[in-house]
Amino acid sequence: MDLFFTEQQAQTLTHPAMGTVMTHQSYGENSEDCLTTIRMEIERLEAMLSRFRPHSDISRINQNAGCNAVTINDETMQILLAAQQTANTWTQAFDITITPLVNLWRTAAASQTPPARKAIQEAMQLVDHQDLRLHPACNQAGLRKTGQCLDLGGIAKGYAANRLRDCWCAFNIHSAFSNLGGNVIAHGCKPDGSPWRIGIQHPRMEQHLLGAVTIENEAVVTSGDYQRYFIGKDGQRYHHIIDPQTGRPSRSDLISVTVITPDAMLADTLSTLLFISGMYKGVEILKNYPECEAILVDQNLKTYISKGLCDRFTPTSCTQSTVLNPHGVFSI
């Protein structure tokens, strides 16, 4: 088995999609055909889920906000239900109706100037996940108020990563790896039988890693304040993850959150949620997801890892890491 795998050459494919660059690596006989299918699958999902594609399910919901519900694909419904469940369970953090605020802060990034307080307050009036009405029995979804708008930026790449797993299985691929612009998913292990080793970006040293984690059949998703941001005249860092309670880029005590678990959509949702929630609440939330491991970095660049990563995370020399104990109290 090992010999068979070591003789395999990797086939790779890099392409732009979902506002980022994706790279897929696959080993085994059907890799070329599998990569072609993966490319088409990502395009199909983007056409269905992107709010920047005028005919997508999400755009049609947004265009009809305040008017009527529209019929959407079953898959879109599953994603919206998952997002809605997270928002209902852990209120005032992860909210896919956040778009008016995201748009405001995107414009701010272009001029490197934070929006006016009044504009933030107005946009906040439109953010409320309870205004997203889902009717799974007839696959219909709608937004209550005109001007409301959905954005799946915090969850869609995770869903897409899960779908890649179906592609690999369909083509009988046993060893593959994809990087969907920072959302990583690994299928099986490396061709030589060893686990994949994933580098985690240091949140403040661009060319450095925080460390590396070993994975098999898992996703690794990071949310951080260093991924998309601008520094204002006041010296503050304004990034792309918005706290619906303040209408501003979240300012918890965390600057980077990585979640590791087989379900990439859960990893994507949780990394954004924990980032906004901060260390204390984040650890409380994590206790409800025993299948998830996490790497949390605080403002002082102290790195905390969940217990299950003890033997799987190797910090680099510039990283001071600590294990999160199961009660959420940190031991150094």
Residues that bind ligand AMP (CB under 6 A): 94-96, 98, 102, 151, 153-154, 223, 240-242, 244, 268, 271-272, 276
Q: Is 249 in the site for Mg ion (CB under 5 A)?
A: no
For residue 253, give Cα distances in angstroms to 66, 298, 301: 36, 6, 10
In whole angstroms, give the CA distance from residue 200 to residue 326: 23
Q: Please, what is the minimum distance in Å from the beta carbon of residue 245 to ligand AMP?
A: 9
Q: 77 vs 124, which CB is nearer to ligand AMP? A: 124
Q: Is 154 in the site for Mg ion (CB under 5 A)?
A: yes
Other C-beta atoms closer than 10 Å to the C-beta of 157 total 27
Q: Please, what is the minimum distance in Å from the beta carbon of residue 332 to ligand AMP?
A: 28
Residue with the shortest CB distance to ligand AMP: 153
In whole angstroms, give the CA distance from residue 3 to residue 25: 19
Q: 143 vs 276, which CB is nearer to Mg ion? A: 276
Q: 34 vs 185, which CB is nearer to ligand AMP? A: 185
Extended strands (E) in 115-233? 132-135, 140-143, 175-180, 183-187, 196-201, 209-215, 219-224, 229-231
DSSP state letters, 26-63: EESTTHHHHHHHHHHHHHHHHHHH-TTSTTSHHHHHHH
Q: Is 268 in the site for Mg ion (CB under 5 A)?
A: yes
In whole angstroms, give the CA distance from residue 75 to residue 200: 30
Q: Is 272 in the site for Mg ion (CB under 5 A)?
A: yes
Contacts of 261 (CB under 8 A, 6+ apart): 218, 219, 267, 270, 289, 291, 292, 293
Structure tokens, 317: 């020399």
Other C-beta atoms closer than 10 Å to the C-beta of 186 total 26
Among 103-111, 142-150, 265-273, 321-329, the segment contacting Mg ion (CB under 5 A): 265-273
Q: 4 vs 52, which CB is nearer to ligand AMP? A: 52
Q: 28 vs 268, which CB is nearer to ligand AMP? A: 268
Q: Is 182 in the site for Mg ion (CB under 5 A)?
A: no
Residue 153, binding choice from ligand AMP, Mg ion, none, Cβ under 5 to 8 Å by partner class: ligand AMP
Q: 34 vs 255, which CB is nearer to Mg ion? A: 255
Asked if 198 and 177 count as a contact pair (C-beta separation under 8 A), the reply is no
Residue 98, binding choice from ligand AMP, Mg ion, none, Cβ under 5 to 8 Å by partner class: ligand AMP
Chain residues binding Mg ion by CB under 5 A are 154, 268, 271-272
